[in-house]
Structure 1
Amino acid sequence: MFSKKPEPTTPRVSQPSKSVANNSTFSVIGSDVTITGDISATTELHVDGKIAGDITCASIVQGETSMIEGAIEAESARMAGTVKGSISARELVILRSAKIHGDVHYDALTIEQGAEVEGRFAPKKASSAAPAKPNTGKNGEPALSVAS
């Protein structure tokens, strides 16, 4: 049982295939990395570094010390660092350490107490619709209407 020697194996070198590359679960941009330019990813993107450009991805997780200067578009986003640009996400979580300077469009939104957001919030459904005609009074000035 213990006297049997394992058969020698020869090392195999294989080229990465497209199917292997598409099976990765996430990509990481480390804290020592700065990227200037737009980023597009089909998987989850974890950002701890600095990005100056727009980001389009399936999911983004932003670290507390990271900085993103550009628009973000994702299915889900969990923001903890600084963002200078708009965010559009189906499911958005803004953590208490986040500082966002830009408009936020979402379907589902969670904000922790202490998060800083300087911009407008709008549900994605409302942001894609045509702007509503303002309610005006007799003189053409804006009027207030109260729902009962």
Structure 2
Amino acid sequence: MATRSSNGGTTFSVLGPDISVKGNIETRTDLHVNGSVEGDIACSALIQGETSTIDGGIEAKSARLAGRVTGSIKVGELVILKSARIDGDVSYDTLTIEQGAQVEGRLSARGEATAARPSRPAAVADQPQGEPNLALAG
């Protein structure tokens, strides 16, 4: 099911809870997944329902995940809700994780976010800028 904007363009597509897809999905629009997908997803924005399962990689500008994902995730703005269960490596620009969400895999900021930061010594790198820094010598 797709909704059309007033100018005739598709604004988002929906895979209902009774739909199961085997194969990759690629779209330039937003995608709402409430069913199951066995394949990779590439879209502008992804919204995943709580009962949804995705067995494949995800690549999007933004994603709001609430169901089960098995595969790598590469997203600009990522929100992982408390009902989400993720098994795979996650690469992001911004990340929000609700208490109770489960992630099995590596979390890493994408190169764009880390390249913008000035280089600082490792002992200081974890401290917010403007906060007092403490380095212990052994």
What TM-score do the two structures reach when normalised by structure 2? 0.77
Quick one: which of 47, 58, 71 aligns to 1:72? 58
Of 83, 98, 104, the match for 1:97: 83
Note if 1:117 corresponds to 2:81. no
Give CA deviations for 1:68-117 in whole Å, capped at 9, x if unaligned: 00000000000000000011100000000000000000000000000000
Amino acid at match of 1:55: I
With normalisation by structure 1, the TM-score equals 0.72
Query: Greater strand percent: which structure?
Result: 2
Gaps of 5+ in 1: 1-18, 130-144
Among 93, 98, 112, the alignment partner of 1:107 is 93
Larger Rg: 1
Q: What is the match of residue 83 of structure 1?
A: 69
Q: Residue type matched to 1:72 in 2?
A: I
Q: Matched residues, percent identical?
A: 54
Q: Distance in 2 between matches of 1:108 and 1:128?
A: 11
Q: Counterparts of 2:28 and 2:123 in 1: how far apart (Å)?
A: 45
Aligned mates of 1:103, 1:127 — CA distance in 2: 17
Q: Which runs of 5+ in 2 are unaligned?
A: 1-6, 116-121, 125-134
For the residues of structure 1 that align with 2:110 and 2:36, how far apart are their CA atoms?
A: 27
Q: 2:11 aligns with which of 10, 22, 25?
A: 25
Superposed CA RMSD in Å reads: 1.9
Rate the CA distance shift 1:121–1:127 in 2: closer, same or farther, 3 A. farther
Within 2, Cα distance between the matches of 1:81 and 1:117?
Answer: 12
TM superposition outliers: structure 1 runs of 4+ over 4 Å? 126-129
Tell whether 2:24 aligns with 1:38: yes
